[in-house]
Amino acid sequence: MLYDFRSFVNPGAYAFGKGTFNHLGELVERRHENSDSWTVFIVDDYFKGKSLIERLPKKDNDLLIWIDTVDEPKTTLVNQYRDEILAHNTKLPSVIVGIGGGTTMDYAKSVGLMVTNPGDSAEYQGLDLIKNKGIYTICIPTISGTGAEVSMTAVLSGPEKKLGIKCDYTIPNEIIFDPELLATVPDEQRFYTGMDCYIHNIESLSGTWVSTLGQVFAEKSVELCREVFLDSNLSRIDADEKLMAASLTGGNSITYSQVGVCHALSYGLSHVLGVHHGVGNCVAFNQLEEYYPEGYKEFKKMQEVQGVAIPTGITANCTEEQFDQMVETAWALEHMWDNAFGKEWRNHITKAKIKELFRRM
Amino acid sequence: MLYDFRSFVNPGAYAFGKGTFNHLGELVERRHENSDSWTVFIVDDYFKGKSLIERLPKKDNDLLIWIDTVDEPKTTLVNQYRDEILAHNTKLPSVIVGIGGGTTMDYAKSVGLMVTNPGDSAEYQGLDLIKNKGIYTICIPTISGTGAEVSMTAVLSGPEKKLGIKCDYTIPNEIIFDPELLATVPDEQRFYTGMDCYIHNIESLSGTWVSTLGQVFAEKSVELCREVFLDSNLSRIDADEKLMAASLTGGNSITYSQVGVCHALSYGLSHVLGVHHGVGNCVAFNQLEEYYPEGYKEFKKMQEVQGVAIPTGITANCTEEQFDQMVETAWALEHMWDNAFGKEWRNHITKAKIKELFRRM
């Protein structure tokens, strides 16, 4: 186990249900101390020109930062956004609002911390390296499954590694779960991100690090994933509300457990090939029947019911050097292997085996 | 619904699992700013002379308050403990630690608030009447099921009513869930308190106020109650760990829903006859087959498996005046009736019917 003992900080507050996004203005206002208090909105650029933007409670002195989500979040961009915020006003912002998927929320979480912690964000990749608490952060998922909205990790790709900033302060202070915001997510993307949730539950439940509380949250989250992706009788809005609850409980579960083989491999795909995290998980899990036989079977069934075909051949043109880089990225995630196989994990997996798995993807 | 919109504050942090109580000293120390910072321990007097007390990280300038749990928590005693704390030191305490069941934890929660809010605690019975946040409060359940450790309500009996102090600040800042602390709870008491959890889940799930998130937590909590009280293959310590998780998720569920008929009646029994909350719930639920047929059936099965006989005839010697008082206490809990039957609840239940139910107990 990574922690001998830890008291895990919970996300600050949840506003959950249809229409809760309409109350964002009140929640922001509550955190403004003075008339010159201001807010940073960090928003997925998918929403450029969309009606959601007209609903933002944005004032003249506020700052809006658009996030290009083609790439996974990078430490260099975190630094850049932080500089932009510091240049915008001599006073620090009172609130940071992150609106989007895992990438956008991870930017909001880490930018909120970097505003109050000096230096390069890459220096903080790891556990408990952050010294000062950040700006009050409200996360608003517009796609569900990553668990980023409730997790104590903001995953970042740095110059050297893909590794999260992880500490008590990385957890958002408030989360608005409004299933209406999921209405326009394309089916395929919804599936990939939903599977991120399903897969981390499976990794949590079959891992050696699982605790009773991690198990409780993961079991419920798996049930909800089943309802969402196997039960065709649910309306889209009802399914989306359940998917938000699945993401919440799945994210909670990871706090009290750990991910495993699939996430380690998926980090390799993201870091070297720039594959999006949800897609990377699906591509990797598609080759992991031997490690997660039951979860794999259900995953295939969900693909079938949802009519989604997982990409194949994405490593077909990789060089030997790229394969080696992916292997090294995955291999370095010792806590994930330790969770999957126990302390003696090096007896259960080799770099050669990992490379073979990458070749099959 | 009581709330048109609310962003619900979560409990601050969870330390969950066997042996976590050993870390209480660290958690307290973390909240001490100076060498003269001090702590109040509010402890169920069941632990007088027990080994748990030797394990308390109590220093010379700390204050230990013993709680007699024969009666449900009273506003008069909250005021008295508050005065004792203020008299103990010119400086406010940095931490309040509550160790015990729902009664003791409700004292810890409300005393922690009354130290920073002037006047009589009875003036704060209701929703959002507290003005200032309280002292950092750590709750440590030694019996599970009430959900008091994670709830935003500290239920108090005042001169006029039994009603909770309920606000964002009533939620503990930190909770230590150590199942080893449940080892010495007598089977019967464990059952009554566990049934508090089971019953509020049933009331939540069948209520008109239930939200998706309330449902998610209650469903998982019910599953855990089944494992604990119907599966005889679990060891006591494993069952106790699950019971702690059931209490946590059940308590979370009530945040996003509401209790119903049984709790309203049980409040009447407690307020007029001084019946303990868990026992009162069981006595009341035992007469509620017509309102909760499925839950009732399972409740009877749990009684059978656990070999517990619910007391009967406890109202046999009540005067007409006492019955009327019980009816009035229950009737005043409009939010519970509203949850049970909807806005038009007065069309579904009468004072005469409530009195008849009390007569049967």
Residues in B closer than 8 angstroms to A242, CB to CB, are: 212
The whole-number average pLDDT for the span B5-32 is 97
- Give the integer Cα–Cα distance in Å for B97 and B135: 10
Identify the residue with better confidence: B106 or A4: B106
B3 CB near a chain A CB, below 8 Å?
no
Nearest to B13 by CA among A254, A7, A217: A7
The whole-number average pLDDT for the span A302-330 is 96
> Is there a single domain that holds both residue B98 and residue B199?
no
Confidence at A93, pLDDT banded by 50, 70, 90: very high
B6 CB near a chain A CB, below 8 Å?
yes
* pTM confidence score: 0.96
The whole-number average pLDDT for the span A264-292 is 95
- Give the integer Cα–Cα distance in Å for B338 and B209: 8
Query: Inter-chain contact A241–B11, Cβ cutoff 8 Å?
Result: no
Q: What is the pLDDT of residue A160?
A: 83
Is residue A134, in this structure, part of any structural domain at all? yes
Q: What is the pLDDT of residue B310?
A: 96
| Domains of chain B: total | 2
Q: Which two tokens mark A36?
A: 């010159």
Phi, psi dihedrals of residue A313, rounded to the nearest 5°:
70, 20
Mean pLDDT, chain A, as a whole number? 96
Nearest to A284 by CA among A312, A257, A259: A312
Q: What is the pLDDT of residue B163?
A: 84
Q: What is the pLDDT of residue A310?
A: 96
Q: Assess whether pLDDT exceeds 90 at residue A106.
A: yes
Q: What is the pLDDT of residue A157?
A: 87
Determine the residue among B3, B9, B14, B255 to mutate to test chain A binding: the one whose Cβ has the most chain A Cβ atoms within 10 Å: B14
Nearest to A95 by CA among A44, A33, A149, A43: A33
The whole-number average pLDDT for the span A44-73 is 95
Q: What is the pLDDT of residue A162?
A: 78
**Which of A182, A215, A234 lies at the terminal end of a domain, its last residue?**
A182
Nearest to B145 by CA among B72, B250, B293: B250
Is residue B318, in this structure, part of any structural domain at all? yes
Residues in A closer than 8 angstroms to B219, CB to CB, are: 220, 223
- Give the integer Cα–Cα distance in Å for A292 and A302: 15
- Give the integer Cα–Cα distance in Å for B86 and B69: 23
Q: Which two tokens mark A13?
A: 């507050």
Mean pLDDT, chain B, as a whole number? 96
- Give the integer Cα–Cα distance in Å for B230 and B298: 9
β-bridge mates for residue B100, sequence order: B141
**Which of B122, B151, B182 lies at the terminal end of a domain, its last residue?**
B182
Determine the residue among A4, A8, A16, A222 to mutate to test chain B binding: the one whose Cβ has the most chain B Cβ atoms within 10 Å: A16
Is residue A4, in this structure, part of any structural domain at all? no
- Give the integer Cα–Cα distance in Å for B153 and A59: 36
**Which of A134, A157, A182 lies at the terminal end of a domain, its last residue?**
A182
**Percent of chain B predicted with pLDDT > 90:** 94
Q: What is the pLDDT of residue B161?
A: 79
Is residue B293, in this structure, part of any structural domain at all? yes
B27 CB near a chain A CB, below 8 Å?
yes
Residues in A closer than 8 angstroms to B26, CB to CB, are: 5
The whole-number average pLDDT for the span B233-262 is 96
Q: Assess whether pLDDT exceeds 90 at residue A221.
A: yes
Burial of B204 (0-12, 13-18, 19+ CB in 10 A): buried
- Give the integer Cα–Cα distance in Å for A51 and A201: 34
Is residue A308, in this structure, part of any structural domain at all? yes
CATH number at residue A316: 1.20.1090.10
Q: Assess whether pLDDT exceeds 70 at residue B109.
A: yes
- Give the integer Cα–Cα distance in Å for A102 and A144: 8
Q: What is the pLDDT of residue A4?
A: 78
Q: Where are the alpha helices (DSSP H) in chain A?
A: 24-30, 51-54, 75-88, 102-114, 187-205, 212-230, 236-255, 261-273, 277-285, 293-306, 320-331, 334-341, 351-360
Confidence at A2, pLDDT banded by 50, 70, 90: low
> Is there a single domain that holds both residue B174 and residue B193?
no
Q: Assess whether pLDDT exceeds 70 at residue B21.
A: yes
A211 CB near a chain B CB, below 8 Å?
yes
Q: What is the pLDDT of residue B72?
A: 84
Is residue B256, in this structure, part of any structural domain at all? yes
The whole-number average pLDDT for the span B258-279 is 94
Given a contact cutoff of 8 angstroms between Cβ atoms, the answer to whether A174 and A138 are in contact is yes
Q: Would you give the DSSP letter of residue B93?
A: P
pLDDT tens digits for range B167-213: 999 999 999 999 999 999 999 999 999 999 999 999 999 999 999 99
The whole-number average pLDDT for the span A158-174 is 91
Residues in A closer than 8 angstroms to B224, CB to CB, are: 216
pLDDT tens digits for range A13-22: 999 999 999 9
> Is there a single domain that holds both residue B219 and residue B73?
no
C-beta pairs of A60-64 under 8 Å, 24+ apart in sequence: A61/A36, A61/A89, A62/A38, A63/A38, A63/A39, A63/A88, A63/A89, A63/A93, A64/A40
- Give the integer Cα–Cα distance in Å for A159 and A242: 37
Q: Would you give the DSSP letter of residue A206?
A: T
Q: Assess whether pLDDT exceeds 70 at residue A121.
A: yes
Of B13, B27, B213, the CB nearest to A16: B213
A162-166 vs A153-157, strand pairing mode: antiparallel
> Is there a single domain that holds both residue A167 and residue A312?
no
Q: Which two tokens mark A75?
A: 């430490």
Q: Assess whether pLDDT exceeds 90 at residue B259.
A: yes
**Percent of chain A predicted with pLDDT > 70:** 99
> Is there a single domain that holds both residue B47 and residue B110?
yes
Q: What is the pLDDT of residue B231?
A: 87
Q: Assess whether pLDDT exceeds 70 at residue A3.
A: no
B171 CB near a chain A CB, below 8 Å?
no
B153-157 vs B162-166, strand pairing mode: antiparallel
Identify the residue with better confidence: B253 or A231: B253
Q: Please list, residue by residue across A96-106, b when 16 or more beta carbons sit within 10 angstroms of its beta carbon and e when fewer do.
A: bbbbbbbbbbb
B39-44 vs A63-67, strand pairing mode: unpaired
Confidence at A163, pLDDT banded by 50, 70, 90: confident
Residues in A closer than 8 angstroms to B242, CB to CB, are: 212
The alpha-carbon gap from A216 to the nearest alpha carbon of chain B, in Å, equals: 7
φ/ψ bin of A229: left (φ > 0), alpha (ψ from -120 to 50), beta (otherwise): alpha
> Is there a single domain that holds both residue A218 and residue A355?
yes
> Is there a single domain that holds both residue B153 and residue B166?
yes
- Give the integer Cα–Cα distance in Å for A355 and A330: 10
Is residue B143, in this structure, part of any structural domain at all? yes
> Is there a single domain that holds both residue A302 and residue A339?
yes
Is residue B134, in this structure, part of any structural domain at all? yes
The alpha-carbon gap from B179 to the nearest alpha carbon of chain A, in Å, equals: 11
> Is there a single domain that holds both residue A313 and residue A273?
yes
> Is there a single domain that holds both residue B51 and residue B36?
yes
The alpha-carbon gap from A170 to the nearest alpha carbon of chain B, in Å, equals: 14
A156 CB near a chain B CB, below 8 Å?
no
Q: Residue B150 is part of which domain span?
A: 13-182
A234 CB near a chain B CB, below 8 Å?
no
Confidence at A87, pLDDT banded by 50, 70, 90: very high
Confidence at A143, pLDDT banded by 50, 70, 90: very high
> Is there a single domain that holds both residue B121 and residue B244?
no
CATH number at residue A39: 3.40.50.1970
Q: How far is CA A227 from CA A191, A235, B252, in A?
A: 13, 11, 21
> Is there a single domain that holds both residue B344 and residue B196?
yes
Q: Where are the alpha helices (DSSP H) in chain B?
A: 24-30, 51-54, 75-88, 102-114, 187-205, 212-230, 236-255, 261-273, 277-285, 293-306, 320-331, 334-341, 351-360
